[in-house]
Amino acid sequence: MGFLPMSKKEMEQEGIKQLDFVYVTGDAYVDHSSFGTAIISRVLEANGYHVGIIAQPDWKEDKSIAILGEPRLGFLVSSGNMDSMVNHYTVSRKHRSHDAYSPGGVMGLRPDRAVTVYSNLIRKTYKHTPIILGGIEASLRRLAHYDYWSDSLKRSVLLDSGADLISYGMGEHSIVEIADALASGISVRDLSFIRGTVFKTHRIDYLQDPILLPDYDSLKEDKKNYAESFRIQYQNTDAISSKILVEDYGSQGYIVQNPPAMPLSTQEMDDIYDLPYMRRWHPKYDAAGGIPALAEIKFSLTSNRGCFGGCNFCALAFHQGRIVQTRSHESLINEAKKMTKDRDFKGYIHDVGGPTADFRAPSCEKQKTRGVCPNRQCLFPEPCKNLKADHTDYVELLRDLRQIPKVKKVFIRSGIRFDYVMADLSDEFMDELLKYHVSGQLRVAPEHVAAPVLKLMGKPNHEVYESFTEKFDTMNKKTGKKQYILPYFMSSHPGCDLAEAVKLAEYIRDMGFNPEQAQDFYPTPSTLSTCMYYTGYNPLNMKKVYVPVTPHEKAMQRALIQYKNPKNYELVKEALIRTGRDDLIGFEPKCLIRPRHVSAHSERSGNHHERNRNKKRRNKTALR
């Protein structure tokens, strides 16, 4: 068993005359379970289908899409592990210079809006071959959506791409059902019954109890209609309770979204991650230095899927769902043992997690049979009374992994939910975390400090984060290690004006922390926060929301997070003057910046005061 074929020669070596499916992807081909292309292809292979890979075809050449010939059942199309637009552009819409999913990190090997371009390229050559879209880009564009890069409302990607079907979310269940249906002779135009899919149709009278969303014309006419439509979509992301959703496009027909595919069982998860992945990039990339993205995850373990955290700026609810699905200890231990045999393994497992590392079960028993609550969150605004905050299983898993021969250290880098940790009545996990699993810095994401902003983010009150840091400091002292919390903050989220941004800057000042990175809110498709950004309404209650949209204000908010950077001086100064916070410009300890154009006497006086303050700090340090 080797790599899946990428050429006619490799097909011949495997004795394959015609492939069942050709998978066209915007990523380089890495045969590892952290890459969606590898998972879906290996799942199909395990079910008896021959799959070939066309990775990063030259979309300007028609023949690039025909190198493996016409597949018997269809083309599968994905942008790769990332949305192509996020991959290409920063939040300020500037071109990125590095693509971690391309050979040697070279940028420009995939087009903008990759699934649309690839699908249209296929259709030029193969007029009638079924095309099924999948992956994050198609999944989050399955219905009408706001497109930040063009600042416009776009139709379902199914219409613009000319594809036949979308397999949205995590597609292992749906892709096998699609394959089996096509193999049985059912036309792709008749595949209207598969969960986790979106299809086109000109009649909906046969659908069972569908919900009619506002039609596309009304969405374009009034942004409030889009907010209302998004609320309905958000309430129908659960596999157990969701209804069929229908979007009317007039003469173009209807786009129909079936309910999500059912969550995977632990056995199904184990089976998927135990497939014969090569765990490396295809040898054709060796000369270019390989694929940088593999380095971060090669020695990491995916232990779960789904997230009930409910951050409004995250698209996980729309893509993976809110019900947590987990692998067994045995499956994870077996994968870890395979890692230790890799010649590059140095004894360190870099991560054991997923969307949220410390989620190892659904948030409550009710979810297993009745699904998640459509109008309530598990952790926000405070933990639900039905929440089962228990790290016992995760602690046992980490202990098991630490005992594996050749494993020196097991880190947790994918992030934990500090509010979930605080909801756990036991300190066992926190104790083990600090003793064994922190690599100097623990990454957590408070995101902001102002209550109105946190509320619109779907994040807990700032007091919860403060309590967590106090517990961290108290328990960390017992370890005798120099370990720190590395907090992540976000600027320009809907609801955050300059005054709230200044509050965040003051908090960073009081922490004595100088963030090396600052994340400006990025309005990606199909998040609650993006809906707020586009419409100016909170879709959950239809209340108006202040939205910082101008590049200049966004730049000021971002600069305030890194107010110590000299490059940000003028932006910080302008923000402070605009908000009437001139008191933060000066030489006093609480000031964020100093005045630049002052008399020599004032400057000498300021320097004198600063020297005295530094002297007092040194004396206090010596006394300790």
Task: Tell me the CATH number at 534.
Answer: 3.30.750.200
What are 605's two structure tokens?
Answer: 């006086």
Task: Decide if 114 contacts 87 (C-beta within 8 A).
Answer: no
What are 116's two structure tokens?
Answer: 């649309």
Give the C-alpha separation, 177 to 132, whole Å.
12
Q: Residues 415, 546: one domain?
A: no
**The CA-based dihedral angle spanning residues 356, 361, 364, 369, taken in that order and rounded to the nearest 10 degrees:** 120
Residue 244 lies in a domain: no
How many Cβ atoms sit within 10 Å of the Cβ of residue 385? 6
Residue 612 lies in a domain: yes
Give 31's contacts (C-beta < 8 A, 6+ positions apart).
Answer: 3, 4, 38, 42, 277, 278, 279, 280, 281, 282
Q: Residues 109, 139: one domain?
A: yes
Give 340's contacts (C-beta < 8 A, 6+ positions apart).
Answer: 404, 405, 406, 407
Identity at 456, one-letter amino acid code: L
Q: Residues 134, 95: one domain?
A: yes
Q: Give which of 420, 450, 452 is closest to 433, Cα–Cα.
A: 420
Q: Residues 44, 106: one domain?
A: yes
Distance (Å) of CA 284 to CA 39, 81, 291: 20, 20, 11
Cα 391 to its chain centre, rounded Å, is 23
β-strand pairing of 351-353 with 348-349: unpaired
Q: Residues 621, 527: one domain?
A: no
Residue 317 has what pLDDT? 84
Q: Residues 408, 511: one domain?
A: no
Quick: pLDDT tens for 37-67.
999 999 999 999 999 999 999 999 999 999 9
What are 514's two structure tokens?
Answer: 């100088």
Q: Residue 370 carries which DSSP code? A: H
Average pLDDT of adjacent 10-residue blocks, the chain of 624 residues: 94 97 98 97 98 98 97 98 97 96 97 98 97 98 98 97 97 97 97 97 95 98 98 95 97 97 97 97 97 95 95 92 96 97 96 95 91 91 95 98 97 92 97 93 94 97 97 94 93 98 97 86 97 98 97 96 96 97 96 79 48 46 34
β-strand pairing of 300-302 with 351-353: parallel
Residue 322 has what pLDDT? 93
> Which residue has tokens 């071959």?
129
How many Cβ atoms sit within 10 Å of the Cβ of residue 49? 21
Q: Residues 338, 395: one domain?
A: yes
Domain end, chosen from 408, 439, 470, is at: 439
Task: Tell me the CATH number at 387.
Answer: 3.30.750.210
Please give the tally of structural domains in the chain. Answer: 4
Residue 220 lies in a domain: no
Residue 512 lies in a domain: yes
Give the C-alpha separation, 497 to 554, whole Å.
10
Q: Residues 425, 326: one domain?
A: yes
How many Cβ atoms sit within 10 Å of the Cβ of residue 34? 19
Identity at 208, one-letter amino acid code: Q
Task: Decide if 96 contacts 89 (C-beta within 8 A).
Answer: yes
Identity at 346, one-letter amino acid code: K
Give 89's contacts (C-beta < 8 A, 6+ positions apart).
Answer: 95, 96, 149
**Secondary element (H or E) of residue 491:** strand 484-491
DSSP 407-420: --EE---S---HHH
Task: Decide if 561 contacts 491 (C-beta within 8 A).
Answer: yes
How many Cβ atoms sit within 10 Å of the Cβ of residue 473? 12
Q: Residues 193, 58: one domain?
A: yes
Task: Tell me the CATH number at 30.
Answer: 3.40.50.280
Task: Decide if 272 contacts 172 (C-beta within 8 A).
Answer: yes
Q: Residues 608, 460: one domain?
A: no
Residue 606 has what pLDDT? 47
Q: Give which of 298, 314, 451, 334 is closest to 381, Cα–Cα.
A: 451
Residue 392 lies in a domain: yes
Domain end, chosen from 389, 423, 439, is at: 439
Residue 513 has what pLDDT? 84
Rounded to 5 degrees, what angle do the CA atoms 83, 293, 433 make?
A: 105
In sequence order, which ranges of 480-539 are alpha helices (DSSP H)?
498-511, 528-535
Residue 288 lies in a domain: no
Task: Decide if 146 contacts 523 (C-beta within 8 A).
Answer: yes
Task: Decide if 230 contacts 181 (C-beta within 8 A).
Answer: no
Give the C-alpha separation, 153 to 534, whole Å.
9
Give the C-alpha separation, 367 to 374, whole Å.
11
Q: Residues 60, 31: one domain?
A: yes
Q: Residue 242 carries which DSSP code? A: -
Task: Decide if 32 contacts 279 (C-beta within 8 A).
Answer: yes
Q: How far apart are the first and last CA of the chain?
A: 63
> Which residue has tokens 């630049």?
596
Find the domain containing 525 and state its range: 445-568
Q: Residues 521, 615: one domain?
A: no
Residue 228 lies in a domain: no
Q: Give which of 67, 20, 72 is closest to 46, Cα–Cα.
A: 20
Residue 596 has what pLDDT? 87
Residue 264 lies in a domain: no
Give the C-alpha separation, 513 to 503, whole Å.
14
β-strand pairing of 325-326 with 304-305: antiparallel
Task: Decide if 444 contacts 485 (C-beta within 8 A).
Answer: yes
Domain end, chosen from 568, 583, 614, is at: 568
